[in-house]
Amino acid sequence: MIDIDKIKKQVEQTSTLDELEALRINLLGRQGVLNSYLKELKNLPLGERKKRGEELNLLKEELESVVNKKIEAITSSFLLERLKKESIDPYLPPFPINIGRMHIINRIINKIVHIFERLGYETVEGPEVETEYYNFEALNMPAHHPARDLWDTFYLNNGKLLRTHTSPVQIRTMESNRPPIKIIAPGRCFRKDNPDASHSPVFYQIEVLYIDKGVNFAHLKGTLEYFARSMFGRDQEVKFVLSYFPFVEPGAEVAVKCVICKGRGCITCKQTGWLEILGAGMVHPEVLERQNINSKIYSGFAFGMGPERIGMLMYGINHIRHFLDNDLRFLNQFKFHLED
């Protein structure tokens, strides 16, 4: 008969799951000891067979429970050992995780767009590949107009061009909407400029257009002052300098009190105390009339700004190229800026 105490000892002495499994097969497997006894049952007389059967069943249960307990014991001691070896010090600082984040230029653009969305402006986009009509002609610059020289243009083989500014989005909007029109149009622009610290062949612009009855220069000024204060701080001063753009009359360049030196004079503002941030003006009546908007009833203002330039001023960035290089050492510096 099976010596249960001896078996218990054998089970106790195993130290790995493999050893235990071999023992289990030997005892409880199909060819195992227990089965060999069960097979012999049929040779016994009926009365004894029943009694013996019950005994063997109890034995089987006991063996199974001994083995199962040992499995648990081995597993948990294995786990304990592993936990001891891999002990975690919860007071150690965690490994830094590199979380991707939006590019700084997109965050600057978003911040600007949000300021105007709060004023009820709708965000629209236009194509980067444009026609001469939208980029120049409809903006009051017919072919051979000398002002076209202001924008060094990449012309494509199919007669189209890469837009040199976002102003064509004004025309596309006027074409398919009636006043009141209130839009903001961010997008990429292209110019055949010689690259330097503040010029890049690829850059962004943000165009703003507002057309309604009775819009005047005071509205333009108020809007830009509101924008400058939202962007640079409550006390930000703004000034207008007369300028020329064919699609506005009068035209102006807008400067803000230098955000670095607060007007005292520094290298960023070239000692002038002021920084030009955008071109602006009242939409030229000719531009409105071409889009069948009656300039005797409606008037509007428009402006276009460069978000890279604004970012350069805000963070003291000395080269526009940094926005395109995607050097992580540069980008990671803005982890904690403009998260809103």
Catalytic residue numbers, as ranges: 151, 165, 191, 205, 248, 302
Cis preceding linkage at 195, omega within 30: no
The binding track of 243-262 with respect to ligand DAH, each residue x by CB under 6 A or -, is --x--x--x-----------
Helix, strand, coil percentages (3-state) for the chain, rounded to 5, are: 45, 20, 35
Pairing of strands 248-257, 202-213: unpaired
Which residues, including other chains, have CB under 8 Å from residue 340's CB and lie 6 or more apart?
Answer: 111, 114
Q: Are 70 and 12 in contact (CB under 8 A)?
A: yes
Q: What's the rounded Cα separation, in Å, for the pair 292 and 285?
A: 10
Which parts of the chain are beta strand (E)? 122-123, 129-130, 161-162, 181-190, 202-213, 238-243, 248-257, 274-283, 298-305
Interacting positions 36-75 with ligand DAH (CB under 6 A): none
Nearer to ligand DAH, 11 or 105 (CB): 105
N-to-C CA span, the chain: 80
Q: What's the rounded Cα separation, in Å, for the pair 131 and 306? A: 22
Of 20, 67, 161, 302, the one binding ligand DAH (CB under 6 A) is 302
**DSSP-derived 3-state class of residue 84:** helix
> Which residue, 306 or 311, is less far from ligand DAH as judged by CB?
306
Task: Examine residue 163 and tell whether it contacts ligand DAH (CB under 6 A).
Answer: no
Q: Output the smallest distance, CB 139 to ligand DAH, in A.
A: 8
Instruction: Note whether 190 binds ligand DAH by CB under 6 A.
Output: no
Shortest Å, Cβ 101 to ligand DAH: 29
Min dist. Cβ of residue 229 to ligand DAH (A): 21
Q: 258, 280, 313, 317: which one contacts ligand DAH (CB under 6 A)? A: 280
Residue 210 within binding range of ligand DAH, rule CB under 6 A = no
Given 14, 140, 167, 173, the residue binding ligand DAH (CB under 6 A): 167
What is the nearest approach in angstroms of ligand DAH to the Cβ of residue 303? 5
Residue count at the site for ligand DAH (CB under 6 A)? Answer: 12
Residues that bind ligand DAH (CB under 6 A): 165, 167, 207, 245, 248, 251, 279-281, 302-304
